[in-house]
């Protein structure tokens, strides 16, 4: 946000008192924005180092011992969340990338309704959606005998809430795509699926990578779906943290949060590299 | 190896709109034909039907006597050069040129040899490993041309290939395309809205308007014997004056009276006269009509006057700007007399058909060509 403000105000280059005032205002906004984002992160890391059973301020001392305690306490849910997120990413890409291609190609026609439908899950309150999916899956379980609540149900739910983002990002990545390149490939002898594989998907590459990242983070961080759809042995990390918090308020939760941040941050960094690499390769 | 292309009463309808109507055209092997017309005239639609991106709603398209309508676009073996170049941005120049060959599953050494040959042809050997966006517009267009020709296409289709290039490069590129096309004897269809470009490249021109073919012929045919006022206006930018034709005079709607160089019938008629064909003289000199200079523009090689004939009609007059016969310049507000020779005067009747102008037998010959 601060950069937007800076872009709007700075280019006018007014001088004197007003100019100084504007610069001060911009700097203030930049600092405020950075603080808004940075302070909670810094505090969480700080708390995770407290040598206390409860979160008390000021702490008696500092320790790293909470970190080794993550695996015994949250190792299972962490793994479950990671597995779920990876499967959900695959699912939402399989659904969202073709949908994005189709919507961008036939946008002029009757795609308005389909586009709205594909984006609708974003607008729906997560907790209500979770409950609705739960009731629906129970109904299906009663009639089919197949167990949905648990891993499968969570994957479906995550695919549902991440697909809108995938579609959006794919559409954005195709906004500047020249359809003539696809026609050129066709004229050179490429069959329709070859055209998509050799021309369309490479053009979408940065968008697809961003979409995968988004879908992963949304799935990995999601609490609401896990509240209803988790089953014994299939507890997601956010649900596990919530359950833990019911009985203990200690720095372990902060340590888990930091671990989660590191995982997501690391995947962000890796993918950012990949995207930039993709841009260079283009 | 060259291919003959025939469009047989081809039509394309989008909903209620007839984009192309009953288009018939026969292109001989090795010929370069340019479809010319303003935007929305159906020229691009025609090209896309030949390429296979659009299916005609009526008629047939044949290559060497065989219909290509059952073939999908990727089976037609057409080399297409697009206005936007349409290079694959993620592939190097060499990989772009190799694309069609890879689709044909040629083996690697053969592909490499062919790519090298094509890049040499367009003088881009040293750019083989570059990405398209590191190339200038002209270089990108040459890659597109090499890519299209690499597959030994049955037809070369050019969709406004020069309009994204700047003026100086455009002429150079046009010459290059023409030389390559001649050298390889490849049957070519090009689409453009630019009549200079069209004249420079075409063996024959097809002038189109609102989905209908207006005239087909060699550039000089169209220039010297336009079939109707539209062609006269489009090729060479003729001044078009419409009025009542009676006893050798044309009475314009705005009241101006043009004294024609001959007398040919009566009724509604259109006069087309090229800017270069009109000579200006001080008012009072014998001429076809008088008018008032509105604007005088010096263009270096030419001097252009806009002369108002009556409240509703004005004409553009262009004279040489240099040398001994440089045109005299008249200031705005000056009254001048306009004149031209009978050979330069083109008259069309109410239906837009040319009225006889010279020997009757010459007209018949021309008419056959216009309706063919």
Phi-psi region of A13 (alpha: psi -120 to 50; beta: other; left: phi over 0): left
Distance from CA of A203 to the nearest CA of B (A): 7
pLDDT digits (tens, 9 = 90+) for B100-111: 999 999 999 999
Closest CB from A183, A190, A282 relative to B131: A282
Neighbouring-strand partners of residue B307: B293, B315
Look at residue A13 in the predicted model and tell me its pLDDT. 55
User: What is the predicted pLDDT for the residue at A266?
Assistant: 86
Among B83, B89, B151, whose Cβ lies nearest the Cβ of A188? Answer: B151
CB contact under 8 A, A186 and B82: no
pLDDT at A6: 44
Residue B78 Cα, gap to closest chain A Cα (Å): 6
Query: What DSSP line would sit under B209-250, residue for residue?
Result: ETTEEEEEE-HHHHHHS-SSHHHHHHSS--EEEEEEEETTEE
- Cβ contacts below 8 Å, chain A against chain B, sum to 73
B371 pLDDT higher than 60? no
Q: Where are the domains of chain B?
A: 5-224, 238-371
Q: Provide the pLDDT for residue A190.
A: 93
Sign of CA dihedral A132, A134, A135, A139: positive
- Who's near A209: CB < 8 A, 6+ residues apart? A271, A274, A275, A278
Q: What's the pLDDT score for residue A232?
A: 81
Query: In which element (H, E) is residue B338 found?
Result: strand B335-339
Closest-CA residue of B relative to A183 is B53
- Across the interface, of A180, A192, A281, the residue whose CB is closest to B82 is A180
**A168 phi/psi in degrees, rounded to 5:** -55, -50
Per-residue pLDDT tens over the stretch B133-148: 999 988 999 999 999 9
Q: Is the ipTM of this complex over 0.85?
A: no
What pLDDT does residue B67 have? 95
Q: Which residues of chain A are within 8 Å of residue B84 when distances are taken between CB atoms?
A: 178, 180
pLDDT attached to residue A276 = 64
The answer to whether the Cβ–Cβ distance between A180 and B75 falls below 8 Å is: no
pLDDT band at B1 (very low <50, low <70, confident <90, very high): low
Closest residue, chain B, to A281 (C-alpha): B90
Interface residue A205 vs chain B (CB under 8 A): yes
Q: What does the pLDDT average to over B31-59?
A: 94
**Contacting residues of B for A192, CB less than 8 Å apart:** 74
Say what the pLDDT of residue B265 is.
67
Region B73-97: mean pLDDT is: 93
Confidence tier at B370 by pLDDT (50, 70, 90):
very low
Cis amide leading into A126 (omega within 30): no
Mutate which: A174, A186, A188, A208, vs B, most B CBs within 10 A: A188
pLDDT tens sequence across B286-328: 888 888 999 998 888 888 999 998 888 899 999 887 777 777 8
| Chain A residue closest in CA terms to B82 | A180
- In three-state secondary structure terms, A41 is helix
Q: Which residues of chain B does A191 touch, with a Cβ-Cβ cutoff of 8 Å?
A: 74
Q: How would you classify the pairing of strands B78-81 and B66-67?
A: unpaired
Out of A189, A203, A282, name the one closest to residue B151 (CB).
A189
Please state the φ and ψ torsions of residue B199, each to the nearest 5 degrees: -65, -40
Spacing of C-alpha B17 from chain mean position: 24
Cβ–Cβ gap A183/B83 under 8 Å:
no
* pLDDT at res. B264: 63
Answer CATH for B5-224 from 2.60.40.420, 3.40.50.300, 2.10.70.10, 3.40.1190.20: 3.40.50.300
**pTM of the shown model:** 0.79
Q: Report yes or no: A279 at the B interface, CB cutoff 8 Å.
A: no
Subunit contact B99:A190, Cβ cutoff 8 A: yes
Cβ-nearest to B103 among A180, A190, A192:
A190
- With an 8 Å Cβ cutoff, are B82 and A190 in contact? no
Q: Which of B72, B82, B148 to mutate to test the interface with A (most CBs of A within 10 A)?
A: B82
pLDDT at A108: 59
Tell me the per-residue pLDDT of B221-277, one tens digit each, with 9 for 90 and over: 888 888 999 999 888 888 988 888 887 788 888 778 888 877 666 788 888 899 988
- Output B179 or B364, whichever has higher pLDDT: B179
Backbone torsions φ then ψ of B287, nearest 5 degrees: -170, -170
Over 90: is that where the pLDDT of B209 sits? yes
Q: Give the architecture-level CATH label for domain B238-371.
A: Beta Barrel (2.40)
A184 contacts in chain B (CB < 8 Å):
80, 82, 86-88, 144, 147
**Closest CA–CA distance from residue B147 to any residue of chain A (Å):** 8
Q: Is the CB of residue A281 less than 8 Å away from at least one CB of chain B?
A: yes
Which residues of chain A does B133 touch, with a Cβ-Cβ cutoff of 8 Å? 282
How high is the pLDDT of residue B372? 37
| B-chain residue closest to A198, CA distance | B88
* Average pLDDT along chain A, 282 residues, taken 10 residues at a time: 44 66 91 92 88 79 86 88 93 93 76 76 86 91 84 91 90 87 94 93 88 89 88 86 87 88 84 64 45
Contacts of A190 in chain B (CB under 8 A): 74, 99, 103
């Amino acid at each position: 946000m601060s950069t937007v403000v800076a872009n709007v105000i700075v280019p006018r280059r007014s001088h004197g008192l007003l100019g100084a005032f504007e610069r001060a205002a911009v700097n203030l906004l930049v600092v405020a924005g950075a603080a808004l984002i940075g302070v909670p992160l810094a505090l969480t890391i700080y708390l995770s180092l407290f040598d206390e059973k409860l979160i008390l301020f000021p702490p008696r001392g500092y320790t790293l011992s909470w970190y080794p305690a993550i695996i015994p306490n949250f190792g299972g849910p962490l793994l479950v969340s990671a597995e779920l997120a990876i499967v959900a990413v695959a699912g939402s890409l399989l659904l969202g990338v073709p949908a994005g291609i189709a919507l961008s190609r036939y946008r002029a026609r009757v795609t308005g309704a389909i586009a709205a439908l594909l984006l609708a899950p974003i607008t729906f309150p997560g907790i209500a959606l979770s409950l609705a999916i739960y009731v629906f899956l129970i109904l299906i379980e009663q009639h089919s005998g197949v167990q949905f609540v648990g891993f499968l149900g969570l994957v479906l739910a995550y695919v549902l809430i991440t697909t809108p983002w995938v579609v959006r990002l794919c559409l954005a990545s195709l906004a500047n795509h020249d359809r003539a390149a696809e026609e050129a490939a066709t004229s050179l002898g490429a069959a329709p699926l070859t055209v998509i594989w050799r021309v369309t998907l490479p053009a979408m590459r940065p968008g697809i990578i961003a979409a995968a990242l988004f879908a992963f983070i949304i799935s990995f961080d999601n609490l609401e779906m896990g509240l209803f759809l988790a089953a014994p042995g299939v507890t997601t990390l956010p649900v596990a943290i919530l359950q833990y918090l019911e009985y203990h308020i200690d720095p372990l939760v902060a340590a888990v949060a930091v671990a989660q941040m590191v995982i997501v941050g690391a995947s962000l960094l890796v993918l950012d590299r990949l995207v930039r690499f993709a841009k260079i390769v283009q | 190896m060259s291919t003959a292309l025939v469009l047989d009463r081809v039509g394309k309808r989008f909903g209620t709109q007839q984009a192309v109507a009953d288009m018939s055209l026969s292109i001989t092997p090795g010929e370069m034909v340019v479809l010319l017309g303003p935007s929305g005239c159906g020229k691009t639609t025609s090209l896309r039907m030949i390429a296979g991106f659009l299916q005609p709603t009526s008629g047939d398209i044949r290559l060497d006597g065989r219909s290509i309508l059952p073939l999908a676009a990727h089976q037609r073996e057409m080399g297409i050069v697009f206005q936007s170049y349409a290079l694959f941005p993620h592939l190097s120049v060499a990989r772009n040129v190799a694309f069609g060959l890879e689709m044909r599953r040629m083996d690697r050494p053969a592909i490499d040899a062919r790519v090298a040959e094509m890049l040499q042809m367009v003088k881009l050997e040293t750019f083989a490993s570059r990405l398209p966006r590191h190339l200038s517009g002209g270089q990108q267009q040459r890659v597109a041309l090499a890519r299209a020709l690499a597959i030994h296409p049955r037809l070369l289709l050019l969709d406004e290939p020069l309009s994204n290039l700047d003026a100086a490069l455009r002429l150079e590129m046009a010459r290059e395309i023409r030389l390559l096309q001649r050298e390889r004897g490849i049957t070519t269809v090009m689409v453009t809205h630019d009549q200079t470009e069209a004249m420079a490249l075409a063996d024959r021109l097809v002038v189109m308007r609102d989905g209908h073919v207006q005239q087909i012929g060699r550039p000089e045919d169209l220039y010297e014997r336009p079939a109707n006022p539209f062609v006269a206006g489009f090729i060479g930018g003729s001044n078009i004056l419409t009025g009542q034709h009676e006893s050798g005079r044309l009475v314009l709607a705005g009241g101006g009276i043009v004294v024609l160089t001959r007398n040919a019938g009566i009724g509604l008629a259109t006069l087309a006269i090229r800017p270069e064909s009109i000579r200006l003289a001080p008012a009072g000199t014998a001429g076809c009509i008088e008018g008032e200079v509105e604007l005088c523009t010096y263009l270096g090689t030419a001097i252009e006057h806009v002369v108002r004939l009556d409240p509703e009609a004005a004409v553009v007059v262009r004279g040489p700007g240099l040398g001994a016969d440089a045109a005299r310049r008249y200031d705005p507000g000056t009254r001048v007399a306009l004149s031209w020779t009978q050979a330069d005067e083109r008259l069309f009747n109410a239906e837009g058909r040319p009225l006889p102008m010279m020997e009757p037998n010459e007209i018949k010959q021309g008419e056959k060509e216009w309706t063919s």
